[in-house]
Structure 1
Amino acid sequence: MVEFGKKLKERQIQEWQGFYLNYKLMKKKVKQYTTQIESGALDHRNALKDFSRMLDTQIEKIVLFMLEQQGLLASRISQLNKQQDSLQEEPDISKISDLREAYREVGRDLLKLLFFVEMNAIGLRKILKKFDKRLRYKFTDYYVKTRANHPYSQLQQVFKHVGLGAVVGAISRNLGDLQDRQGSYLSIYDQPALPLQDPVVDAIKAASDRLTHSTHFLNFLAQHAFIMHEELPSAAEEPPSEERYHFMSLLLNLASTFLYMINTYIIVPTADDYSMSLGAAPTVCGVIIGAMAIAQIFSSVYLSAWSNKSYFGPLVFSSLVLCAGNVMYAMAYDVNSIAVLLIGRLLCGLGSARAVNRRYISDCVPLNYRMQASAGFVSASALGMACGPALAGLLQIKFKIYEITFNQETLPGWVMAVLWLLYLVLLWITFREPARDTDVDPIPQEPNTEEQVSLENGPAQPLLLKSIENEEDEEGDEESEEASEESRRPANSLASAYRLLTPSVKVQLLIYFMLKYAMEILLSESSVVTTYYFGWTTSTVSIFLACLGLTVLPVNIVVGSYISNMFEDRQILMVSEIVVFLGILFSFNFIVPYSVPQYVVAGLVMFVSAEVLEGVNLSLLSRVMSSRLSRGTYNGGLLSTEAGTLARVVADATITLAGFVGESKLLNITLLPSLVICIASIVATSCTYNSLY
């Protein structure tokens, strides 16, 4: 594994080498400060002052060069604009073609400048992180706080490419105007959503968006897939390989995700009734629902490892286990055994193939389709979450065939068993095992690329490329400039992966735990709470849960298309946490009698804000996480999945334990831990806020 500084140098544009951030020099200075402070020859204050001055000088060098290049590009565009004006008076097809190519050439030079700015932004973030780590000092917090919002801030020039937006707009507008519009004049300002066919414009837009972290609906939705991407750009485009891509196989992976989410939530409206039918308390529904999550903690690991060798095998195994688990869940009624019911749910969790579904998108879907595939993964999860309770609401029938009972408690199991059996048949007929690279490391690695994008709704395997920006230097105290091969390898256990977590990453995992805990409490206890307070039927609970699930896509459209482009991720993160807190607080039974509007509004606020929080949380997590956690079986995606799954297990266990106190106190007792964890996450976010810049 090549060390970051060497990679940075290899990607530099040769004629501009003298204007890049001198990462190697600054890395040596950090090491020097460490040695001097340990020996007592230097104190933290003087190191801070000296390093700040050096950083200011380096940033000023970058910014002045950037402004100079920006002026040259603006001058060339101005000259081309004059030629374009003259062509409007005397149209000439050949000259229009030459002019278009000239604009493209300026666009390619602009793309080089955007790559220049982006690599410097990556190097700057990394050296700030290194200083904090080696000197055990919150230098990033101080530096960002004092520089980012200053009226003469040069930091904004590097991180937000202030001023370059005008050049990006000029190139996009003029190339757009020169396209053949079949006789009609359409400007990018009149119809911003109009697709631009010119690849140079698309590349500029992608590079610009990546640098500013601006986004759109598909991008924001795909973030929920937690697909970390390559942050170190390359000026040379690499065509994506489509040799391993098979559209039907992708659809089968998305179908598996959809069915699994239905399987998870189809029992929620009836789990309390089922437990009472078997002689248990209604709050045992927490254990019934949570059993699937408990098993998923283990299945995420072994199926993720299995997918290193095959995709077809894990999917077949998953379908068989889920089919058997659902049959046992349904048969528990007639054998009158709560143990059989729980074993059935555990088997369903052991068949969770979400890690395989994500891994398939990561390894086998070409980059130019990957964002859409990731968004499809999240959409399938959201629709499954909505369809599960809705389907349970439709199964309000009762009959017997021989000695087997079919009613609202058992039908979810029988229906899901049939659906998984049909899926298995379709899988056997149409799935194509992708070709494997036999001469590379068994854990798939993605090639470096200029493109693109990310994310997901409860990760277990990262779907994007590794994030070089967040690669931690693990070289220790060795004199060599390159880290040892051992220190660059992926984590080989959950414990070693945990040791790579920085405070910022731990805070983001805490937030992820909090939002999953709050959402699970809301969903899992909904049937018990609404039956006790409002006398809701199974159909009413099903409609309520389905409506919550249906808010996922509209909320992501609003946030991804508008809010995420108006505010920074860290700002949205903080506000979303506060709104989740307010939703939890308003859900408490302070007022007697407890009203339906209070419960519904509070639940909706909590669920929607948690959904918004998940997207920005995973986006920030992908940027602050070490690249050693971007590959291998024990990756950052697996850690976040385990955090989310553990949150669901703890939440479901809390519901069952609170049931011993009584249903009248269930709501407040289960909401109290949510409130405490939410407050802790808000405080922790405040402490690491500036490190999320």
Structure 2
Amino acid sequence: MVAFGKKLKERQIQEWQGYYINYKLMKKKVRQYAQQIELGTQDRRHVLKDFSRMLDNQIEKIVLFLLEQQGLLASRIAELGEQYDALQKQPDISKMSELREAYRAVGEDLLKLLYFVEINAVGLRKILKKFDKRFGYKFTDYYVKTRANHPYSQLQQVFKHVGIGAVVGALSRNLHELQDSQGSYLSIYDQPTLPLQDPVIHSIKAAVDRLTHSTNFLNFMAQHAFIMQEELPAPTEEHVDDQKYNFMSLLLNLANTFLYMVNTYIIVPTADDYSMNLGAAATVCGIVIGAMAVAQVFSSVYFSAWSNKSYFRPLVFSSIVLFMGNLMYALALDLNSIWVLLLGRVFCGLGSARAVNRRYISDCVPLRIRMQASAGFVSASALGMACGPALAGLLQTKFKIYKLTFNQNTLPGWVMSVAWLVYLVWLWITFKEPVRDEVEENHVPHQSNAENHIDALEEGVKQPLLINPMLTNHVPHQSNAAENHIDALEEGVKQPLLITSERKEDEDADQDYDDSEEAPEESRKPANSLRSAYRLLTPSVKVQLLIYFMLKYAMEVLLSESSVITTYYFNWSTSSVAIFLACLGLTVLPVNIIVGSYISNMFEDRQILLVSQIMVCVGIFLSFNIFFPYTQPQYICSGLVMFVSAEVLEGVNLSLLSRVMSSRLSRGTYNGGLLSTEAGTLARVVADVTITLAGYMGVSRLLNITLLPSFFICVISIIATRCTYNSLY
């Protein structure tokens, strides 16, 4: 707890303490409401009205202070502008340098103000979520709906920081002109693509993007990785632990991600033909493809746990198991055994180290390049997804060496065996195990500074430190529990710290509910099992996981049955199927460029979420073969609409999921990344099993039977999104 106090003290802007959201007061009121409702002395309508009024007052306090500070910053920029005009008439290099530093000082103060807004925005989201969970009401839905779009809305001032944009623009323009020592006649508006090489502007831009959730291509791609970023980084701090980071180790993790995705999809164009050569039905390809996903359900858990202790050893184990699995897959034809084929795919799934790859980026990559590394993780996955089928299309040859058969069915196994063997040698020679902190060596879960801050906001003070009750009556502003703790620590040398039984009971009562509804001593720890992780899921989180399940299910049905469907309806060759799947995979990057650079800056994430779900539903509906003869344009266009919409949906879905998920799920073995991976993997398993079972009813019925569950789940997810729409704020 001493670490909590120290880290929080470093991040508090002491002179602004009285203007922060009074999180502790509102949390205490929620507890009082619960007691009153339980005793029957208060009704629901009064509670909603009283709590709404309290929130309105808190937001008004924040907004008025925000406007005051904006005015002060604007005045300072105006004064500096007058000085700049004077220097234009009588240039002085030393004074120009002083002026530039003065502008940077304004930038630092603006960054503090943005950080202040961000803390309050997080506090508002947390208290709304806590109220909903405590009472089971849709209070957030009501409050956001009535306040967000009202012409006098002060809520928008907090979440959209109206007016700060003008200050950012004025500061950026003036710093750009001061930087331009060559006397160019072009302004920053004439060169929008020319970056301003000033660190304070980069920091301000990052802070503004976090508040507005505006994004770019790299940000949008990074969201797909679901690597939890610090929610509240310090305004001027960019912590980097270079002892943990090694570029070659990062590259090896990205290579592992790429090879695994190639391994997953390289068999899709030929799995049906391979199954028939071994005496099974073509639709058994669903089980062959899905066996890898079944094993991944379990491997994700033990690899996630293993990465708490090491990164090198699980990657070595993964490479060996994948080598053996691909070798069995390649030998199944000569052994004439469908079971060897399935066992080989199971081994490939048991070697899935994606949890390790994601964890390495989250824990060992410096913050300054973590976004690029996360985008690289997703790009490697997308490239592997496209290269897998494309490579299968190139392996159209047949020959024998001794008694070993090499053809389009077995070559994917042989090629991937060699690839994993080469990767294992590369890994053994060049990977560098990162240095682990003492905290990690003692198996205490890693917590970022931002997570400590959020947890302190959520959980209040855990140490029984209390200033004399007589003294507390004279303290006008205590903005939250974390600030009370800091004040208590600071006053420790001046005032006796008293523990009173009354206060102790009050703290215990205040702690008796948290986001997990668990005991106070566990309230800050990460989830230690899937069950405890599930208990942390709010309705909004469950809906986002349902959406993730739906999109992965729809994509798996489209990809896994593509070979069977296209062969039955259009007589496509293996090469044609491979080209189709490769083209689908290649759409990932351009679609993300468009959405990340333009669409996500024009619309809210929740709007894109809803529209992309509807488009997935439209794509599924267009894929049905009901009244007219099934044609190639219908299949290609509907598949493209479904796949592209699902890709767009995945980015915004994981972005929203990271915001509505408890901070306790951002660390430990059973984290949000593992939950989303398990949801997606389970969707793939169910989809592949559905394909195999539907195959027993005939290939002619396969398409419609497998599309029905996709359509049904998609409609349910759209309805669930509408029910939780206003909580995604």
TM-score bucket (shorter structure): over 0.9
Tell me if structure 2 keeps the 8 A contact 1:330–1:414.
yes
Give the match for residue 665 of structure 1.
701
Residues 242-251 or 483-492, more deviating: 483-492
Instruction: Tell me the SS of whatever aligns to 2:72.
Output: helix
Give the match for residue 453 of structure 1.
none
Give the match for residue 676 of structure 1.
712
Give the match for residue 40 of structure 1.
40
Matched, 1:479 2:478: no
Residues 616-625 or 25-34, more deviating: 25-34
Provide the rounded CA distance (Å) in 1 between the counterparts of 2:433 and 2:5: 38
Q: For residues 17-45 of structure 1, what are the alpha-carbon distances to aligned partners after superposition, in whole Å with 9 as ceiling and x for unaligned?
A: 11111111111111111110110000010
1:6 positional shift = 11
Tell me if structure 2 keeps the 8 A contact 1:577–1:613.
yes
Matched, 1:282 2:282: yes
Q: For residues 293-351 of structure 1, what are the alpha-carbon distances to aligned partners after superposition, in whole Å with 9 as ceiling and x for unaligned?
A: 00001111111111111111111111111111001001000111000000000000001
Tell me if structure 2 keeps the 8 A contact 1:80–1:99.
yes
2:550 to 482, 498, 514: 514
Give the match for residue 266 of structure 1.
266
Provide the rounded CA distance (Å) in 1 between the counterparts of 2:607 and 2:455: 21
Give the match for residue 664 of structure 2.
628
2:541 to 505, 512, 516: 505
Tell me if structure 2 keeps the 8 A contact 1:471–1:627.
no
Provide the rounded CA distance (Å) in 2 between the counterparts of 1:182 and 1:63: 41
1:58 positional shift = 1.2
Tell me if structure 2 keeps the 8 A contact 1:333–1:405.
yes
Give the match for residue 443 of structure 2.
442
Q: What letter matches 1:445 in structure 2?
A: H
Instruction: Tell me the SS of whatever aligns to 1:224.
Output: helix
Matched, 1:685 2:698: no
Tell me if structure 1 keeps the 8 A contact 2:228–2:362.
no
1:478 positional shift = 6.1
Provide the rounded CA distance (Å) in 2 between the counterparts of 1:3 and 1:241: 18
Give the match for residue 475 of structure 2.
none
Tell me if structure 1 keeps the 8 A contact 2:386–2:584.
yes
Give the match for residue 686 of structure 2.
650
1:159 positional shift = 0.5
Instruction: Tell me the SS of whatever aligns to 1:479.
Output: helix
1:190 positional shift = 2.0
Q: What letter matches 2:567 in structure 1?
A: T
Q: 1:466 to 1:352 in 2, by over 3 A?
A: farther
Give the match for residue 466 of structure 2.
none
1:233 positional shift = 3.9
Matched, 1:523 2:552: no
1:191 positional shift = 2.3
Provide the rounded CA distance (Å) in 2 between the counterparts of 1:5 and 1:24: 16
Q: For residues 487-514 of structure 1, what are the alpha-carbon distances to aligned partners after superposition, in whole Å with 9 as ceiling and x for unaligned?
A: 2211111111111111000000000000
Q: Map residues 255-654 of structure 1 onto 2, 5 A cutoff.
A: 255-440=255-440, 441-442=442-443, 445-448=446-449, 468=454, 479=508, 481=510, 484-654=520-690
Tell me if structure 1 keeps the 8 A contact 2:225–2:377.
yes
Q: Map residues 26-425 of structure 1 onto 2, 5 A cutoff.
A: 26-180=26-180, 182-425=182-425
Residues 556-565 or 184-193, more deviating: 184-193
Provide the rounded CA distance (Å) in 1 between the counterparts of 2:452 and 2:685: 30
Instruction: Tell me the SS of whatever aligns to 2:269.
Output: coil
Q: Show structure 2 runs of 5+ residues with no match.
A: 463-504, 513-519
Provide the rounded CA distance (Å) in 2 between the counterparts of 1:306 and 1:98: 53
Q: What letter matches 1:203 in structure 2?
A: S
Tell me if structure 2 keeps the 8 A contact 1:126–1:469.
no
Tell me if structure 1 keeps the 8 A contact 2:393–2:578.
yes
Provide the rounded CA distance (Å) in 1 between the counterparts of 2:623 and 2:6: 54
Provide the rounded CA distance (Å) in 2 between the counterparts of 1:469 and 1:548: 42
Q: Aligned-pair RMSD on alpha carbons?
A: 2.1
Provide the rounded CA distance (Å) in 1 between the counterparts of 2:279 and 2:28: 69
Tell me if structure 1 keeps the 8 A contact 2:445–2:526.
no
The alignment of Structure 1 onto Structure 2 pairs a total of residues equal to: 678
Tell me if structure 2 keeps the 8 A contact 1:443–1:632.
no
Provide the rounded CA distance (Å) in 2 between the counterparts of 1:2 and 1:378: 38
Q: 1:604 to 1:470 in 2, by over 3 A?
A: farther
Tell me if structure 1 keeps the 8 A contact 2:283–2:695.
yes
Q: 1:320 to 1:533 in 2, by over 3 A?
A: same
Give the match for residue 454 of structure 1.
none
Residues 381-390 or 107-116, more deviating: 107-116
Residues 48-57 or 541-550, more deviating: 48-57
Instruction: Tell me the SS of whatever aligns to 2:225.
Output: coil
Provide the rounded CA distance (Å) in 2 between the counterparts of 1:6 and 1:664: 67
1:87 positional shift = 2.1
Q: 1:249 to 1:150 in 2, by over 3 A?
A: same
Provide the rounded CA distance (Å) in 2 between the counterparts of 1:688 and 1:466: 28
- The TM-score, its normalising length taken from structure 1, stands at 0.95
Tell me if structure 2 keeps the 8 A contact 1:122–1:469.
no
1:96 positional shift = 1.1
Instruction: Tell me the SS of whatever aligns to 1:214.
Output: coil
Same amino acid, percent of matched pairs? 78
Instruction: Tell me the SS of whatever aligns to 2:41.
Output: coil
Q: For residues 199-223 of structure 1, what are the alpha-carbon distances to aligned partners after superposition, in whole Å with 9 as ceiling and x for unaligned?
A: 1111111111111111111011000
1:236 positional shift = 4.2
Q: What letter matches 1:479 in structure 2?
A: D
Residues 373-382 or 467-476, more deviating: 467-476
Provide the rounded CA distance (Å) in 2 between the counterparts of 1:236 and 1:551: 38
Provide the rounded CA distance (Å) in 2 between the counterparts of 1:239 and 1:48: 42
Tell me if structure 1 keeps the 8 A contact 2:31–2:510.
no
1:438 positional shift = 3.1
1:5 positional shift = 11
Q: 1:439 to 1:630 in 2, by over 3 A?
A: closer
Q: 1:491 to 1:55 in 2, by over 3 A?
A: same
Q: Show structure 1 runs of 5+ residues with no match.
A: 450-464
Tell me if structure 2 keeps the 8 A contact 1:472–1:626.
no
Instruction: Tell me the SS of whatever aligns to 1:223.
Output: helix
Provide the rounded CA distance (Å) in 1 between the counterparts of 2:623 and 2:523: 48
Tell me if structure 1 keeps the 8 A contact 2:272–2:284.
yes
Instruction: Tell me the SS of whatever aligns to 1:445.
Output: coil
Provide the rounded CA distance (Å) in 1 between the counterparts of 2:638 and 2:672: 32
Residues 482-491 or 329-338, more deviating: 482-491
Q: What letter matches 1:309 in structure 2?
A: K
- The TM-score, its normalising length taken from structure 2, stands at 0.90
1:194 positional shift = 1.7
Give the match for residue 479 of structure 2.
none
Instruction: Tell me the SS of whatever aligns to 2:400.
Output: strand
Residues 412-421 or 439-448, more deviating: 439-448
Instruction: Tell me the SS of whatever aligns to 2:259.
Output: helix
Residues 354-363 or 524-533, more deviating: 354-363
Tell me if structure 1 keeps the 8 A contact 2:556–2:688.
yes
Tell me if structure 2 keeps the 8 A contact 1:511–1:681.
yes
Residues 509-518 or 44-53, more deviating: 44-53
Provide the rounded CA distance (Å) in 2 between the counterparts of 1:191 and 1:623: 34
Q: What letter matches 2:126 in structure 1?
A: K
Instruction: Tell me the SS of whatever aligns to 1:310.
Output: coil
1:2 positional shift = 8.7
Give the match for residue 457 of structure 1.
none
Residues 131-140 or 42-51, more deviating: 131-140
1:436 positional shift = 1.7
